Amino acid sequence: TCKEAMQRFKNEGITGTNVTSPFKDEVMEYISFPDRISSLLSSANTVILKEGKLHSYNTDYYGVKNTLEEYLSSTGNTLAEKGKPLSALVVGAGGAGKAAALAVADMGMEVYFANRSSHAAKPFAEKIGAQYTPLAEIPLLLPQTDILIYNLGMEIDQLKGVSLEGKVLFEANYTHPNMASSGASEYIDGRFWLYNQAIPAFRIFTGEEPCTKAMREVMGI
C-alpha cells in the first residue's frame, strides 16, 4: 500500500523516490511541503525527504510543457505562427492528464478537459480555467482543436474513424501507444514526455544537471 511504502521510505534512509500510478494522488496525504504544481494538481510523481519532512513535485507537468515549448519553437511549425492562442484538448483526467491540462493552461492555451466522469475532472477544470467536456462531445470540439493530448491506455470510440488531419497529437503512453497511426498531421511520441519529466526529476534528486545527450541516445529520440 501507499502507506506502507511511505513508512519504509521514511524509516529506511531513502532520500528520494519516484511515484507512479495509481499512487500519485494518494501520496499527497503524507506530504508536508508540496511545491506549487503538485499542490494545484493534488498529485505528485517525485518525492524527497529533507530533515524528516516529505517534499513533493510533479515533473509530468514539465514533460508536457517543455516538450510542447520545444515543438512550437521548432523551425517551420505553422502552429507557432497562428497569431492567436492555441487550443488544446486533453483527454483523460488521471494524474498525467491533470498535469497536462495545467501545463497547457499555463502556456496560455484555451484548454478543454475531457473525461468519462465529471466528478473529479469538472472541479479541476474550473480551478485552472479550463472547460470540462464529456467524451461524447470530443468530435464536436476537434474542428477547433490545435493540439490533442491523449492520456488513456486505449483508443476511445469517440476518436475511431475521426479525422485528425491538421492536428498535433501528443500521446502519454510510450510503451504501448494507441494513437501513433491515428492520421494526425503531427505525432509527438510519449518518450519526449518521459524525457522532459526526467530532467527536472534528476535535478531534484541530485542537485546536478543530467547529460541530456546520453538520455536521448538511450531513449532513441
Residues forming the active site: 24
Question: How many beta carbons lie within 10 A of that of residue 197, not counting itself?
Answer: 25
Q: Of 155, 159, 164, whose CA–CA distance to 138 is shortest?
A: 159
Question: How many beta carbons lie within 10 A of that of residue 16, not counting itself?
Answer: 15
Burial 25-38 (b: 16+ CB within 10 A, else e): bbbbebbeebbebb
Q: Is 86 in a helix, a strand, or coil?
A: coil
- Residue carrying the nine cell digits 526526467: 198
For 157, counting Cβ atoms within 10 Å of its Cβ (0-12 exposed, 13-18 middle, 19+ buried), the class is: exposed
Distance separating alpha carbons of residues 106 and 127, to the nearest angstrom: 12
Strand order in the sheet with 46-50: 16-18, 46-50, 53-57, 33-34
The one-character DSSP state at 140 is H
- Partnered with residue 16 across adjacent β-strands are 48
